[in-house]
Each structure stands twice: as structure tokens, then as C-alpha cells.
Structure 1
Amino acid sequence: MHKLSAALIALLFFISCGTKKEEQKDLAQSEEKWWKEAIIYQIYPRSFKDSDGDGIGDLKGIIQELDYIKDLGVTAVWLNPIYSSPNDDNGYDVSDYRNIMSDFGTMEDFDRLMKGMHERGIKLIMDVVVNHSSDEHEWFQQSRSSRDNPYRDYYHWWPAEKGKPNYRYSLFDEKGDAWKYDSITDAYYLHYFSQKQPDLNWENPKVRQEVYDIMTFWAEKGVDGFRLDAFQFAAKDTTFPAFPDDLQTNFIQYYAMQGNLHEYLKEMHEQVFSKYDVMSVAEGAGRNFEDAHNLVDADRNELNMAYAFEGVDIAKREGYSLTHFKEVFSRWDKEFAEKGWLSIYLANHDQARMVSRFGNDSPAFRRPSAKMLNTFILSMRGTPYCYFGDELGMTNSNFETIEEYQDIAAINGYKKVVNEGGDIMEYMQNLKFGSRDYGRTPMQWDNSTNANFATGTPWLPVNENYKTINVESEKKDPNSVLNHFRRMVELRKNNPVLVYGAYTLLQPEHQEIYAYTRSWKGEKMLVVLNFSEKNSSITLKEAKSIKEEVINNLQSPDIKNGTIHLLPYQAVIFSIQ
């Protein structure tokens, strides 16, 4: 009797300790931060709204639509680069980090924009492009002028008398070569992207201080966060040793997370992030989970959240399997369940349209599949990033010739295939599915000329389907993609379980349906998403515990004996006991 009591007491103690540990984990992950609860809306300013008729979106255009952004319910805006730039890579080649590109307006326009956002309770996140600058930046102009110029070491130079440096691959170069010979000083400079984007030398403390001063300038103006473009490539081994031959296919493996990158981020945190209530995120999450945790775990004092590529890279022209999709997102969630924080997204300015890549953009299924994908993004753990136009279900355009593309990656990629005698037809077919330009076509506001994006000729053609897919028509339709997006945003904002709750994948082997639960502080929700164009069903024990349907992109599903029957691309969230 005494032995049984002792065992029972021990068992109860063990359960209690386990519960406390779970609660501690819950509390550690659910420590409230505004950037965890944020719903981020990404705006590509060139394509959002043109206020002056030159065909290019601008800051005044965004100001005109601030009430639209507020009505979406989003809490933050990530603005792609608006700094002075010769525009070789649409602003990702910066010539003056403290000025506004003339295409977009003035600093006064920026101040009005930020003030208008803050008045509406919307935070502003700036893109910081400091792996490289423009070759027209004063630093580079000085750097290339002579070998003994004080700015020489702001960039990576290799004197020609030492012979050609070991090969480095360039993502945007038509020959794929990241070393560019410059005759002025008889030397090569490094550019991981285009020739007009020379890489900054982060090993030089003067460069680092320049960047921290620039970020402080914007933080003092009142911006609420920074997204660091291509930053996982910023640190280099400046001896430039030989790399293996498979550089192009294993770019992240050999180029990311090199040298003293973590020390630089800690220094950036100390000088900038720790002094302001700002969010921080870098493009990419390194080579593996260890890299990702080292970037974002709170005790590292580096960044706030990981922005990993693996999920968005799943979509390919030949299609993807839902089981693989589930495995990737579930693996990342599990890895960050107790420590660190993730970003959740399926589209951005470097991708084609979400519904064309992950859903079904045919007239029959575009609406339900766009709603389903938005339901997924806004019901997962992590900070959701929603790309402009995806709240409408905007689709890919259909460019037929290389001359129709404006993106340097597409144009120089084409030249590279030609130079190497590659398959042009295959390259063009891949472009038609995944070109960055398709994610950059102008916002579709209404069914008037140019979708009311611009009175002049748009810098990229407006998608021909704008007469049916546009803000004005979707506002009026209670069943539109837009209104479902708004309802889903409100659901997330009003239910912390969708922000902080534990994620549990159900039936990972199911070929058509992605089902999972979110649970937190006694609340539990069941998310059921049909990723296929056919009717499908799933049997779940959780279905017998349904309390109510909280959101649905189609009619209420038929549920019998624990089996939920879904229509094509149906997305439903239930509260369960």
C-alpha cells in the first residue's frame, strides 16, 4: 500500500513536472512580441500605385491607398527598396542609402507615408541592401579610382598581376562569373549579383560602421524594422580559396554563412537593434537548422526571425507533391517549436504569383485555391508575410518573348543559356512559370484602363485579366478572395492560438488534404485544406470534437462519423474541444 502510494506520488510528480515543462516551453515560445503577432503585407512600390502618370508606382500612390491597406487588417508593411538607384536590379542596387529614388518621390513623401501608416496603426519595415551597393555609389566610384584610395577596401578587389582569382559564381551575370575586370586599376572586383552590384567588404570595420549609421538614420526617423537583403552572403573568406566545381547548384552551401557573419550581426544588434523597438529579419536562413538557430535564437542577440527558402522553393513547373510540402513546413515548425521564430510565406518579389505556383489559376479554381493558400499562410505558426495582390488572387501573366521581360535575372539568364548553347525552349518555359516579373505586374485596382494603376504606360504590362480580378469588384463580392483574406486576417488577430499555438500535423501521408491542429492555453483549432482539384475526404478523430466552423472558403462541408468531405481547394477551420 505504501509502495503503491509512493509510486503514485512519484507518477503524479512526474506528470506535474512534465506539465510544468510544457507550460514553460509554451511560455518561452509565446512570449508576446509585436513582430510575432504582426501580419506583414509586402509592397513592391514600383508596381503598387502610380500617382503622377509616369507608369511607375510611387510613394504618393501608396499614400493614396493607405486606407485600403488598413482595411486589409494587416499590421505592418514591408517596403521593397526605395533608395536612390540607377535601377539595374529595380532598386536593389543602391547609390545613396539616405535618399529616395526620384521615380518614387522625395524624403518628404516618405515622411508623410510613414506618418500615415503610424496613424493607422501600421508599422513600416524597410529593406536594407548591404551585401552590395550600386557601382554608381560614391563609395565604389572612389574605390575604383585608385588602389590607394581610402575607399579601396570598401569592396573586394583582386589585383590582376596575381592572375585571375579563383572562380566565384554570379547569380545575375550573363557568363555566371562574379569577378569583373576593371581596367582603371588593373584589378577584378567581386559581384555575387549583377556587374553593377559590387559586393561590400564586411571585413572592413569602416564599412560595417557606415551600415550601422545608415540603419540608425532610418530608425531615428521612426521605421519599425529592417529586412536584410542577401545578408547571408555578406561575409567572405577574403583569401578566396578554390571552391568545388558544383558552385551553381550548391550556391547556398558554399557562399552562405561564411567567415565572421555572426559577429557582424551581434555588432549590428548592439549598435542598432538593441536601441530601438525594431523587428529584424534577414533573407535566407543559412545552410541548415543550426545556421538558422544561430541567426535567430533570442539568446544569440542577432535577428528576430528566420526567413527560409525551402518552402517557397518547392513549387516547380512539373508540379510538387503535397506530402513533400507538408513535410517541409512541418519539419521547420518542429525545429522551431521551442526556440527561435519563423516567417511563413509562399510569395514575394523574387517569385511568380502564389496561386499560379502553389494553387490553380484556371478560371474554375483560382478563387478557392487562392483563398485556401491565404488560409494556410494565416493559420500557421510564425509571422505571415502576404505579398501585395495575393489578397486578390492575382495570377501570372503570359509573356511570349524574352523582349517582354524586364528583370535582369531573366534577361541575363537568357544570355547565359545562349552563351552556353543551352535549351532556350526549356528556359523560356521555366520563365513562363516562375519569372520574377510575374510577381511584379501592376496592382489591379479596377476595370478601367491599366487597372487604374497608372494613367501613363505601366512599366510592366498589366495582366489582361484585370477586368475581372481587381480590388473594386472584389470589394463588392462577399465571397471574393479579398473578403476572405480580410476575414482570415481578423480571425488570426482575434485568436492568439493561431499565432502562438502548438502545431500538430495530422495524416502526413494524405495525398490531397493538409490537416493540422493549433492549440494554446486550452484553445484548439483544426485546419483542413484540400490542395487538389477534386473532391477529397479525410477521417480524423478530431472531427468528432468539432465545436463550430470558424471560417470556410466554400459551403459547409459534409461531416459524418469523423470523416470530413471537402470540395476542390476547400479550406475550413474549426474550433474543437
Structure 2
Amino acid sequence: MEGSAQKQHPWWERGVVYQVYPRSFQDSDGDGVGDLAGIERRLDYLAALGVDAVWLSPIFPSPMADYGYDIADYCGVEPMFGTLADFDRLLAAAHARGLKLLLDFVPNHTSDRHPWFLESRSSRDNPKRDWYIWRDAKPDGSPPNNWISDFGGPAWTWDEATGQYYLRAFLPTQPDLNWRNPDVEAAMLDVMRFWFDRGVDGFRVDVLWHIVKAEGLPDNPPNPHWHPGVNERDRVLQVYSTDQPEAHAISARMRALADEYGARNGEGRVLIGEIFLPNERLARWHGTPERPQVHLPFNFALIENPWDAEALGPLIAEYEASIPEWGWPNWVIGSHDAPRIARRIGEAQARVAMLLLLTLRGTPTLYQGDELAIGEVPIPADRVQDPRELRQPGIGLGRDPSRTPMPWDGSPNAGFSSAEPWLPLNPDWPTRNVAAQERDPGSMLELTRALLRLRREEAALAVGGYTPVACEGSLLAYERRCGDSRLLVALNLGQEPVPLPAETRGGERLLSTLSGEADVLRADEGLIVRLPCA
């Protein structure tokens, strides 16, 4: 498929999203935890990096049982992070630098301290009782069905006062909302309006595929492939607890609201849906031309699959084929929930992965610190914070190593805070930090900046079409084309040199992940070549 420079692409198709984990980006008040004023202080860094939008993980008032994904007030700011006035200043400062600002919307569940749940829990006949999912116990007193929490154990918590169980897909302190109740939907759309009215440019919508459950709440079927030592959640297949047809109608109404606001200023608002599903089911979340859903259903394929050229080539092609004509692809190699890319595949290949991320067709999302190739960060047992690790220790589910503070320079605490950070820094922070990499033209940071500059300069990379060229051994190659502009991307995902694709002959080398040139594609090398016009 050939791209068109003439087509009007909205900013979220042309641009690059950068995820900030607020607790770990920059502390401004010396409590060891990042905050909004700290993020504002670092906006010039983000603008210079070359990204277009900043997505903030939750900043709302929260008991922090799941570090902000347990919300007690959707229309406020957690005092640890600042105030609404601080947010307004951050938003204005971002816009002044040409950056969009996205918030993390968590519609599936609230905190058990949210006023809605406090009312719901107060009695069986409270008007908000049906805002959450309450059910009687089975005759033997056990939970209503066999659903399992994503953090392990039954997805139900017994409430002694009212004599019923409530459903919660995550922690006991995160009760699920009942989206079959129209009052819940109306209240949550009002939350979106509150932030759109303040000027936010969109939302990343947390666990969107969870928000509606099957009528009758039947048992999920057992997973025949599950075995002990992996996430207990996967002991059953989430057939009835996720991805229900009714959720798509809700997604379409969220999109209609976002488009209504986008039409007001001509800039467009974006919805990015967190949806862990195979391609054919993920594609449904684009909706239809008449009734579109989220703009970007998150694609986690590069995180969830082996780092292998012969696996990735077909995977990319299958994903491309699944995108409807009216949809737009997206890619991600890191997040606050996933092991860091440099930890998974090593720093040399992390450079290749960055080139892949920023040259595939679609909207890329960068996670803070991946532009520095932060790798393994040991978390001592007494410093573990993540409830997922605390509930199922020792099986590799802990997310703390991906949430550690951003290392800015070689000063105490890496310039992140004047106090000890809430999580340990990467052990090599004295040399692996922003200031040090800015002084090194061969660093991962400078590679990332160069790639982002090239995306801005080359329409073929930003909005061009994708054509596979080679996928054999450790070689993965593809062409990006827009009008007469043709770029070939060749990646060596292995440790031995491989021949360059024949198509590169006579081409102009634009960028490599390695210094110097060779007649082959060297080990751990990614290369971008301008091809002659066809």
C-alpha cells in the first residue's frame, strides 16, 4: 500500500506519543516522588526529543493501592502530584511548545474509597448499589463464578455488611463499575467532558476490553494450556469477563464525544484503547466508517512475541492486513506494565528495536527511559512496591523494574529528586543518564532524536505505505513509500553479518544504528536507505 503526502493526516497519525509515568519522571518538591511541576520542568527535553504528544499515567486522587489505577475522584489531582492549577499550567506549557497532552482514563473500576462505591456499599437498596456488580454467594458460600483476578485469586470480594460479593478484575480495593447501568456511562462520559473542557487532547483508555461483562456472568472455560508458575489469571479463558459486544457500542459513544470536541477546534482529540486481543478481534475496535470507535486500539505485538525476524515479519504483515481501510496502525515496544526492551533483548538490539518502532507504518508510542536503553533494574525485596509482584511473587510479573525514576544527570539521585527516590534508580545511572547521553553522539538518546527528526522530514516514514521486502534468517526488511519517495529499512536481529538486500544498491544511506559503513548489514545493525525513484 502506497502512502499519500496529499492526504490530510490528523496529528495523531503523523505524530509520536511519549508515555510519562508521573511518579518517576521528575520530583520538584523533594519527597522522592515525581509530580506535575516536575513534568513541566522537563517539557523542553520532550520537545527537543521530537515527540508530539505526552501521555500521563493516572494523576487523579487515589489511595495508590495500584499506584493511581484505583481512582477516588476522576475530576481532581492527587495532592502528591499537585493541584488542578498545576495541571492547567502544565497543559498550557505543553501547548506552548507544540505538545499535545493525553490523560489516562480508567473506566473499568474505581477505588473502593470512591464516593460512588461508598454509597453502593452502604446498603442493598442504595441508589448507587447497581453502579457496581454485586451478586449473592453460591449455596456453599463460594464466589458467584470462577472468574480470576488479573492479580491472582478469585475476582470477587465478600462484603460482610451487605452479605454479597462484588466483582473486581484487579485488587479487592478496585471494584468494577457496572457499565450496563446507563447512569454509570453518563457519569463517566461527563468525566471525559470535564477534561476535554479543560483542553486535554485525548485519553489512553485503560483495560477498555474489560468494561462490559456477559449477561448472567457465566463461568469462564478452563484454559487447557495453563500450568502453575505463570499468571493465575490465565487458568481460565476470559470469554465472558472481557471483550463483550456491548463494549463496542460504548467505545463508539466515547469516540463520538471525542470527535465532537475535536471538531470544535479543528485539532482533533484522540482515544487510545488498551486492548490485549489477537489481531482479528483487536481490529473490531476500530469500528466502522459510519460508527468509528477508538482511534488507536493499542497493538502490543512487539512486546508479546519473540524477537525473531522470521516471526516478526509475518506478524507485521498479519497486523497490517487486519487494519481496516479507515483505521490506522500503532506500535509500542515498552510501557509501565512490560519489561524494558533493553532488558529483554540487550542494548545493542534495543537500538534496532527503536529503529523498527519509529519506521513501521503507524503511530509509535515511546516509554520514558527507553530512549536511554535502561535495562535490568534489580528491586530488593524490601523495596518492592507493585501489588502484582506482592500477590504473585517470583514468577516475573513485577512491574517495578519498568517504573524506576528517570536518570537526568550525574548529580545525587540522578537529578530526579533531592530525596531518596520511591524506587531504586537503574544501577548504571551515573553513566546512563540524559546529560551523559547528550554528550555522546553515538548514544541511544541521540539515535532516538535522529530517528524522530527523520520521521518529521520524510513523509514516507510518517504516513507512507508499508511493503515487506525480506524476512529470512535474522534479516527483516521493508519499504516505506509516499509518492515518489522510497525508503528501505533493513534490520539485522542477529549476531552475525547478513548480506544487504539487493534493493539497497545505488541507494543513499540515511541512518544506521552503528557508526561507519560496511558492504553487509552488520550484527545488531538497523539501516535506512533512500531508494531511487521507481
Please tell me the residue identity of whatever aligns with 1:64. Answer: R
1:69-89 CA distances to partner (integer Å, 9 max, x unpaired)? 111011100110000000011
Instruction: Name the CA distance, whole Å, in 1 between partners of 2:151 and 2:46.
Output: 33
The CA deviation at 1:250 is 5.7
In the alignment, structure 1 residue 324 sits paired with structure 2 residue 303: no
Q: Return the alpha-carbon distance in structure 2 between the equivalents of residues 388 and 397 of structure 1.
A: 15
Separation in structure 2 between the aligned mates of residue 296 and residue 342 of structure 1, nearest angstrom? 14
User: Take 2:460 and 2:287, find their aligned partners in 1: how far apart are those partners?
Assistant: 22
Residue of structure 1 in register with 2:449 after alignment: 486
- Asked if 1:167 is matched to 2:167, the reply is no
Matches within 5 A, 1:148-187: 148-160=125-137, 164-173=143-152, 176-187=153-164
2:378 and 2:69 mapped to 1: Cα distance? 25
1:525 corresponds, among 458, 472, 487, to: 487
Q: In the alignment, does 2:206 pair up with 1:241?
A: no
Equivalent in the alignment of 2:304: 313
Question: Pick from 318, 328, 332: which aligns with 1:345?
Answer: 332
**Residue in 2 aligned with 1:388?**
368
d(CA) in 1 for partners of 2:353 and 2:154? 38
Q: Is the 8 A contact 1:212 1:272 kept in 2?
A: no
Deviation of 1:514 (Å) = 1.7
Alignment CA distance shift 1:281-1:297 (3 Å): farther
TM superposition shift of 1:372: 1.8
What residue in structure 1 maps to residue 226 of structure 2?
none
Question: Contact 1:549 / 1:572 at 8 angstroms: preserved in 2?
Answer: yes
Picking from 516, 522, 525, the partner of 1:567 is 522
Contact 1:252/1:287 (<8 A) preserved: no
CA distance in 1, matches of 2:197, 2:488: 43
CA contact (8 A) 1:73 1:486 kept: yes
Q: What residue in structure 2 maps to residue 407 of structure 1?
A: 386
Equivalent residue runs for 1:3-18 within 5 Å: none
| Aligned counterpart for 1:442 among listed residues 399, 405, 409 | 405
Alpha-carbon contact 1:273-1:280 (below 8 Å) kept: no
- For 2:33 and 2:325, the matched residues in 1 are separated by 44
Does structure 1 retain, via aligned residues, the 8 Å contact 2:460–2:485? yes
Deviation at 1:352, TM superposition (A): 1.6
Residue 462 (structure 1) aligned to one of 400, 405, 425: 425
Amino acid aligned to 1:388: Q
Of Structure 1 and Structure 2, which has the larger fraction of its residues in helix? 1
**Helix, strand or coil for the counterpart of 1:391?**
helix
The alpha carbon displacement at 1:296 in A equals 4.6
Q: Deviations over 1:264-307 (max 9, x none)?
A: 12222334433332101110154541442343554432111121
When residues 337 and 499 of structure 1 are mapped into structure 2, their CA distance, relative to the original with a 3 A threshold, is: farther
Q: Relative to 1, partners in 2 of residues 1:298 and 1:55: Cα closer, same or farther, differing over 3 Å? A: farther
Question: Within 1, Cα distance between the matches of 2:238 and 2:164?
Answer: 26
Relative to structure 1, the CA distance from residue 131 to residue 480 in structure 2 (aligned partners, 3 Å threshold; closer, same or farther) is: same
What is the identity, as a one-letter code, of the residue corresponding to 1:334?
A
Match of 1:78 among 34, 45, 55: 55
The equivalent of 1:477 in structure 2 is 440
- Rounded to whole Å, the distance in 1 between the matches of 2:5 and 2:205 is 26
Q: Deviations over 1:205-249 (max 9, x none)?
A: 000000000000000000001111001010112411122122725
Asked whether the equivalents of residues 220 and 236 of structure 2 are also in contact (C-alpha less than 8 Å), the reply is no
Q: Which amino acid aligns with 2:314?
A: E
The answer on 1:513 being equivalent to 2:513 is: no
Q: Does 1:284 align with 2:275?
A: yes
Q: Among 509, 529, 532, which residue is 1:549 paired with?
A: 509
What is the CA-CA distance between 1:112 and the residue it aligns to? 0.6
Going from structure 1 to structure 2, the CA distance change for 1:400 and 1:326 (only over 3 Å counts) comes to: farther
Q: Please state how far the C-alpha of 1:256 moved relative to its aligned partner.
A: 2.5
Asked whether the 8 Å contact 2:66–2:387 carries over to 1, the reply is: yes
> CA–CA distance in 1 between the matches of 2:445 and 2:518?
25
Identity of aligned residues (%): 36
Counterparts of 1:474 and 1:529 in 2: how far apart (Å)?
A: 23
Give CA deviations for 1:294-322 in whole Å, capped at 9, x if unaligned. Answer: 4355443211112123331125xxxx433
Q: Which moved more, 1:296-305 or 1:245-254?
A: 245-254
More displaced, 510-519 or 383-392? Answer: 510-519
Q: Point out the more displaced range, 190-199 or 535-544.
A: 535-544
Shift of 1:552: 1.5
Q: Give 3-state SS (helix, strand or coil) of 2:76's partner.
A: strand
**Letter of the structure 1 residue corresponding to residue 318 of structure 2:** R
Please identify the structure whose Cα radius of gyration is greater.
Answer: 1
Q: In structure 2, what residue type is equivalent to 1:575?
A: R
State the one-letter code of the partner of 2:504.
A
Deviations 1:311-358 (A, max 9, x none): 31125xxxx43321232223212322734112211101101211111x
TM superposition score normalised by structure 2: 0.92
User: Separation in 2 of the partners of 1:35 and 1:112?
Assistant: 23
The separation in 2 between residues aligned to 1:464 and 1:279, in whole angstroms, is 37
Residue 301 (structure 1) aligned to one of 284, 289, 292: 292
1:270 aligned partner, one-letter code:
A
1:500 is aligned to: 463
SS at the partner of 1:100? coil
**Counterpart residue type for residue 398 of structure 1:** P
For the 8 Å contact 2:404–2:424, the answer to whether it is kept is: yes
Distance 1:350 1:29 in 2: 38
| Cα shift at 1:557 | 3.0
Cα 1:252–1:512 shift into 2, 3 Å: farther
Please list the CA deviations of residues 456-487 of structure 1 after superposition, one character each: whole Å capped at 9, or x if unmatched.
11110111100110011111111111111111
Per-residue CA deviations over 1:391-418 (Å, capped at 9, x if unaligned) read: 11111212353x332111111112xxxx
Asked if the contact 2:107–2:188 (Cα under 8 Å) also holds between the matched residues in 1, the reply is: yes
C-alpha change, 1:217 and 1:394, in structure 2 (3 Å) is same
Displacement of 1:437 in angstroms is 1.0
1:270 equivalent to 2:256? Answer yes
**Residues 136-147 of structure 1 correspond to what in structure 2 (within 5 A)?**
136-147=113-124
The separation in 2 between residues aligned to 1:545 and 1:254, in whole angstroms, is: 56
Q: Is structure 2 residue 323 aligned with structure 1 residue 336? A: yes
Distance 1:326 1:443, change over 3 A: same
Q: TM-score, normalised by structure 1?
A: 0.86
Give unpaired runs (5+ residues) of structure 2.
224-232, 263-267
Q: Aligned-pair RMSD on alpha carbons? A: 2.0
Pick which of 143-152 and 281-290 moved more.
Answer: 281-290
Per the alignment, residue 420 of structure 1 pairs with none
CA contact (8 A) 2:219 2:240 kept: no
Aligned partner of 1:398 in structure 2 is 378
Partner of 1:558: 518
Q: Give the match for residue 14 of structure 1.
A: none
Match of 1:538 in 2: 499
